[in-house]
Structure 1
C-alpha cells in the first residue's frame, strides 16, 4: 500500500445544497458511459506566487468563475491527469499508483511553466473527493469512478509569460466502457497529421495535445474506425501513439515491443505497469522504434500476432485492423489475443483487489 506524508494544507468542506436525487443517480450509475455525468462535489485549491498552495476546499460541483483575460484562455497554460478509483471485493475503495500520476502531473507542470503541486496534496485532494462522493461508484460490471485532476492559469493579463496564480481542481465521473463500438478489437486509421514534434509538449499531459488530435480523430471516426494512429513528425514512418494511448506489439517468439519514450510520447502509467507485469510473466519487453512498414510486413508474415493499446480510460484494448491511404491489414485473427488477454486480466485483477499486489501499486482509501 502506498503511503505519503500528511499534506500541510487542510480542506474545508461545503456540502452540496441540492445533491442529485438518489433515483436519478441510480439511473446514471446503471449506464454511466464515459465522461458525460459528474458527481456532486469537486476539490479546488488556489495558488498564488506569494502564498503558494492554499484555500483547499471540497465544494459543490459547478461552474468556475474566470476573468476574460485569464491566462489559460489565451496561452493555454493547462495540464491534467486521469486515474480511477476501484471497488474491491470487501467493499473498500482504492486507487492504482496515484503517486505515478502525481509525478507525471508535476512533470507536465514543469514543461508548461506552472507551479508543482506536492504529491501528498495531489493524492489527498483525490482522497477527499472520493470520500465525499463514494456513492457515485457505478453499478455496471467493470465500472469505476474516473478522476480528473487539472490545473489552470487564472491570472488576468495579456503579456506572454507564466501566470502568477492558478487553480488546481479535481472532478469525478462514474465510468463504464470507454469504446462504444462493442467490437472485440478496435480498428485504427493511420493519420497524415502528427501529434507532437521533438522538443514540443508530447510528453506532457496538456490540453493542447488533445486539441490537435481532434481533427484527425474525427477523420478516423468518419471513415468507420475507432481510433487514430500518429506517426513521428520528422520522418512520418515510426509508430508513436494511438490517439491518447500507448501501443504494444506482441510477436510469435513471445516478446513484446513498445515505442520508446523519447519526449514525443506520453509516459503512460498503464504502459509502465504492463511492462512490469509482462516481465513478471517471463516475457522480453523491448522499448524500440517500430515503423509502419515493418508493422505491415510482420503482420503479413505472421511474426506479429497481437497488438494492443493501453491507457487509464480504456485500460487494455486489442487492435485488430489498421487502415490508411496505402491499404488495410489485419493483425493475427483480427480479434483479442492470449497475451493481451492475460496481461489485461492480471492488471485489472490487481486494480480491483482480486489478485495480490506484489509491487505496492494499490493505494487503499478509508
Structure 2
C-alpha cells in the first residue's frame, strides 16, 4: 500500500481530566481521535487525527441496518520510569483484518494503523493515567457508511480509533467473580461470526447478561450453540480451567474469539512447563471435576480485565464454588506476570511490548 501522510487538526477546547483514582470503564474519552475513509474508487484514504467529535451519518448507512462493523480493544500503559508502551498491538490489527474478512470489509494497512495509533498516543500522552491498575483503553473500529438498504456489503467505510482512560473492568478487580452458565440463549454457532470481533456477537449476549446481573453475576459463560453442552467463552473473556494439575481451555473452533490475552497465557504456561491443553470441554466435565475435588481453579482472560478469577459457577440452578471462592495461585501468577510485562515491571522475554516514542 502507498505511504499516506497522517494529517493532524488539534482541538481548541481541551476537556478537563477525570479523577484518575475513580475511573469507570469506557465512560470518558480523550481530546482527539483518528479517522480514515474508504471508497471503491480511492481505497483507504485521508488518514487524519481530529478533535473528538460526533459523527454525521446518513440514516440509511449500512452499519445501522445490517451490523456490518468490526472492532478491537487494546491498551497503552505508563511504566515505572515514565515510558509509554503497547502490548502486542500488531496482533490486534491482524485480528481486525481477520474480522474484516468475515464481514466483507476491505483490509486496512496494519502498519499504517499502528503508526496512526502511536501518533495519536503522542498527542494524547497527558490522558494516559498513571495510578496503580489504570491504563488508556484503545478502541479501533470500522463501520459501513454507504447509504443503502439493500442487503449487500457496503462500498464505503470509516475506520476510527478512540481512546478512553480506564480503571478495572470488573469492580472485583483481581478478586474472584461469579459466573452464570447460560442454557437458554446462544451467542454464536459454528459457521457464524463468533470468531470475528463484531457488534452482533455482543448484541446477542445482552439479554442473558441483563438477566444474570440482577442475581449478582458478573458475566455469562456461553455453551456451544448447537448442543448447549460444550464450553465456549465468557461474555468478554476466554476461559481456562485447572483440573488435576492440568490447564484446559476450549479449542478455537470458529465460534470462539482468538483472544490476544488467551494466546499470551498459553505461551506463558508453556514457558513455565505447566501442562496446557486446548480441547473441547463439556460443562458436565467441569461439574464432575468439582464433585470429585479435582477442579482447582478457573479464570477468564481478556484485554479489559487481563485475568479474572472465577470463584463460582452456577449451572442448572446449582452453585459450584471454586478454590473456596479465592484467587488461585496460577491466576495470580498470570495476572502479576502479564501486568508486570505490560507496565514494564518484569522482564518481557517474548518481546510483546512496543515502546511508543513520545518525542
The normalised TM-score by structure 2 is: 0.97
Deviations 1:128-162 (A, max 9, x none): 22111110112421110000000001111112111
- 8 Å Cα contact 1:196-1:202 kept in structure 2: yes
Q: In 2, distance between residues paired with 1:362 and 1:7?
A: 27
Pairs within 5 Å for 1:334-353: 334-353=325-344
Please say which of residues 170-179 and 340-349 is displaced more in the overlay.
340-349
1:312 corresponds in structure 2 to: 303
1:155 pairs, out of 146, 152, 168, with 146
3-state SS of 1:329 partner: strand
Distance in 2 between residues matched to 1:185 and 1:193, nearest whole Å: 24
Q: Retained in 1: the 8 A contact 2:76–2:137?
A: yes
Instruction: Please report how far the alpha carbon of residue 285 of structure 1 lies from its aligned counterpart in structure 2 after TM superposition.
Output: 0.8
Deviates more, 1:208-217 or 1:183-192: 183-192
1:28 aligns with 2:19: yes
Paired residue for 1:86, among 77, 94, 102?
Answer: 77
Q: Structure 2: which 5+ residue stretches go unaligned?
A: none
Match in the other structure for 1:331: 322
After superposing on structure 2, the runs of 4+ consecutive aligned residues of structure 1 that deviate more than 4 Å are none
The residue aligned with 2:293 is 302
1: CA distance between counterparts of 2:32 and 2:20? 16
Q: CA deviation at 1:182?
A: 5.5
Match of 2:3 in 1: 8
User: Displacement, 1:209?
Assistant: 0.3
Once the 2 structures are TM-superposed, how far is the Cα of residue 325 of structure 1 from its aligned partner? 2.8
Equivalence for 1:145:
136
Please say if 1:199 is aligned against 2:194: no
The answer as to whether partners of 1:32 and 1:138 remain within 8 angstroms in 2 is: no
How far did 1:17 drift?
1.3
The aligned counterpart of 1:216 is 208
Contact 1:143 1:176 in 2 (8 A): yes
Alignment of 1:234 with 2:229, yes or no, is: no
Equivalent position to 2:48, from 48, 57, 63: 57
CA contact (8 A) 1:249 1:258 kept: yes
SS in 1 for 2:309: strand
Structure 2 partner of 1:48: 39
Q: CA-to-partner distance for each residue in 1:280-322, whole Å, 9 max, x for gaps?
A: 1111110011111110111122211000001000100000101
Counterpart for residue 132 of structure 1: 123
The Cα offsets for residues 10-36 of structure 1, whole Å up to 9 and x where unpaired, read as 11111111111xxx31x4323211100
TM-score, structure 1 as length reference: 0.95
Cα 1:45–1:170 change in 2 (3 A) is: same
The Cα shift of 1:181 comes to: 4.2
Which segment is superposed worse, 132-141 or 70-79? 132-141
* Distance in 2, Cα, partners of 1:169 & 1:293: 43
Please state whether the residue corresponding to 1:127 is helix, strand or coil. Answer: helix
Matched, 1:17 2:24: no
Secondary structure of 1:202's partner?
coil
Greater Cα shift, 178-187 or 106-115: 178-187
1:73 equivalent in alignment to 2:73: no
Contact 2:6 2:47 in 1 (8 A): yes
Aligned to 2:284: 293
The structural deviation recorded for 1:46 is 0.8
1:3 aligns with none
What SS class does the counterpart of residue 295 from structure 1 fall into? Answer: helix
Which 5+ residue runs of structure 1 have no aligned equivalent?
Answer: 1-5
Q: Please name the residue that 1:103 is paired with.
A: 94
Alpha-carbon distance between aligned partners in 2 of 1:363 and 1:184, rounded to the nearest angstrom: 29
Aligned-pair CA distance for 1:183: 7.7
Q: Quick one: distance in 2 between partners of 1:8 and 1:222?
A: 51
- In 1, Cα distance between equivalents of 2:204 and 2:69: 14
